[in-house]
Structure 1
Amino acid sequence: MTYKIAFFDIDGTLVNEEKQIPQDTIEAIAELKRSGVEAVIATGRAPYFFKSLAEQLGIESYVSLNGGYVVYKGKAIYSRPIPREQVESLVNHAAKHKHTLVFEGASDFSSNNAEDTFMLDAVGSLKVDLPKYDPDFWRTEDVYQVFLHNEADHEHLYMNAVPGLRYIRWHPTAMDVLPTESSKAEGINAMLRLLNIKHEEAVAFGDGLNDKEMLEVVGLGIAMGNSHEDLKPYADYITTHVDEGGIVNGLKYAQLIE
Structure 2
Amino acid sequence: MAYKIVFFDIDGTLLDEEKQVPQDAAEAIRALKANGIEPVIATGRAPYFFKPLAEQLGIDSFVSLNGAYVVYKGKEVHQRHIPMTDLEQLVRLAEGRGHALVFQGKESFHTNQAEHAAVFASVNSLKVDQPGYNPDFWRSEGIYQVFLHCERHEEQGYIETLPDLRFIRWHANAMDVLPRTGSKAEGIQALLDALRLTPADAVAFGDGLNDKEMLKLVGLGIAMGNSNEELLPFADYVTSNVDEGGVRNGLVYAGCIA
Contact 1:114 1:131 in 2 (8 A): no
- How many Å separate the matches in 2 of 1:116 and 1:88? 21
Q: How do 1:218-233 residues align onto structure 2 when only pairs under 5 Å count?
A: 218-233=218-233
Corresponding residue for 1:62? 62
1:155 aligns with 2:155: yes
For 1:232, give the aligned amino acid.
L
1:30 aligns with 2:52: no
Q: How do 1:70-149 residues align onto structure 2 when only pairs under 5 Å count?
A: 70-149=70-149
Q: How do 1:5-20 residues align onto structure 2 when only pairs under 5 Å count?
A: 5-20=5-20
- How many Å separate the matches in 2 of 1:158 and 1:4? 40
- How many Å separate the matches in 2 of 1:33 and 1:17? 25
Which 5+ residue runs of structure 1 have no aligned equivalent?
none
- 1:19-48 per-residue CA deviation (whole Å, 9 max, x = no partner) reads 000000000001101111010000000000
- How many Å separate the matches in 1 of 2:230 and 2:189? 23
- When structure 1 is superposed on structure 2, of 153-162 and 18-27 the one drifting more is 153-162
Identity %: 62
Cα RMSD for the two superposed structures: 0.6
- When structure 1 is superposed on structure 2, of 29-38 and 157-166 the one drifting more is 157-166
1:163 deviation in Å?
Answer: 3.2
For 1:58, give the aligned amino acid.
G
- 1:171-211 per-residue CA deviation (whole Å, 9 max, x = no partner) reads 00000000000000000000000111111110000000000
1:248 aligns with 2:248: yes
- TM-score, normalised relative to structure 2: 0.99
Equivalent position SS for 2:32: helix
Contact 1:10 1:41 in 2 (8 A): yes
- How many Å separate the matches in 2 of 1:114 and 1:63? 29
Contact 1:8 1:204 in 2 (8 A): yes
Contact 1:149 1:174 in 2 (8 A): yes
Equivalent position SS for 2:159: coil
Corresponding residue for 1:201? 201
- TM-score, normalised relative to structure 1: 0.99
Contact 1:166 1:178 in 2 (8 A): yes
1:88 deviation in Å?
Answer: 1.0
1:164 deviation in Å?
Answer: 1.1
**Displaced runs of 4+ in structure 1, greater than 3 A?**
none
For 1:149, give the aligned amino acid.
H
- How many Å separate the matches in 2 of 1:152 and 1:29? 36
Number of aligned positions between the proteins: 258
For 2:87, give the aligned amino acid.
V
Equivalent position SS for 1:204: strand
Which 5+ residue runs of structure 2 have no aligned equivalent?
none
- How many Å separate the matches in 2 of 1:21 and 1:149? 28
Equivalent position SS for 1:124: helix
Corresponding residue for 1:41? 41
Equivalent position SS for 1:163: coil
